[in-house]
Structure 1
């Protein structure tokens, strides 16, 4: 099973970032991140996780799911196909267009409350 620390370490390495870079640019100490990646720290703050998710360009939910902290809900084949269609529909959109789509999705979700 993948741990939070090993998942964060793999994300950092896949982004070609060093512990020193994280310390100098994000303000998370080299020692702290090393302990986190080696599972000596089990419960980092949401601030640390959010900061790292932004640096690694990985949604926080993906980090939580990838490390097994949060279990991704099962989806039907129909839902998976729909999600794929939505994702691939944005391939040739500009950043501004994608942001408008996200804004509209947030609007739709807010109507459910």
Structure 2
């Protein structure tokens, strides 16, 4: 558990985010995040990891493995479509990035992937696994 606490704190600091910013972007309470980072709470389960992964720019599988919820050899628990959807939600919620994110109508997975890839290029952030920004 202390290793996970250090890992999750390091991921947050690498993104230059405060705990309050992470709380606001994920809907996870500030106090709960603080307890996790200080090793006073067990690592959260998959639903929380799904919210943290795009913020910290790692895969859900990476977080789950670090927390001890998955074996090292386990494959990603999210489908490609789910990964794109999570990354797209992150882009849509980034107030600093507005270009190409305000489209009307239903967007398919490929359009969402394109928007995420443009975001990755514009910001240098890696949101989709297996791709470089």
TM-score by length of 1: 0.55
Please, which runs of 5 or more residues in structure 1 have no aligned partner? 74-94, 100-113
Aligned length: 76
Q: Distance in 2 between matches of 1:46 and 1:64?
A: 7
SS at 2:70's partner residue?
Answer: coil
Q: Which residue of 2 aligns with 1:24?
A: 24
- Flag the structure with larger Rg: 1
Q: CA deviation at 1:70?
A: 3.4
TM-score (normalizing by structure 2) = 0.48
| Structure 2, unaligned runs of 5 or more | 74-112, 118-133
Give the alignment of 1:9-20 within 5 angstroms: 9-20=9-20
- Greater fraction helix: 1
Considering Cα pairs closer than 8 Å and 6+ residues apart, tell me whether 1 or 2 has the greater RCO. 1
1:67 Cα offset (Å): 4.6
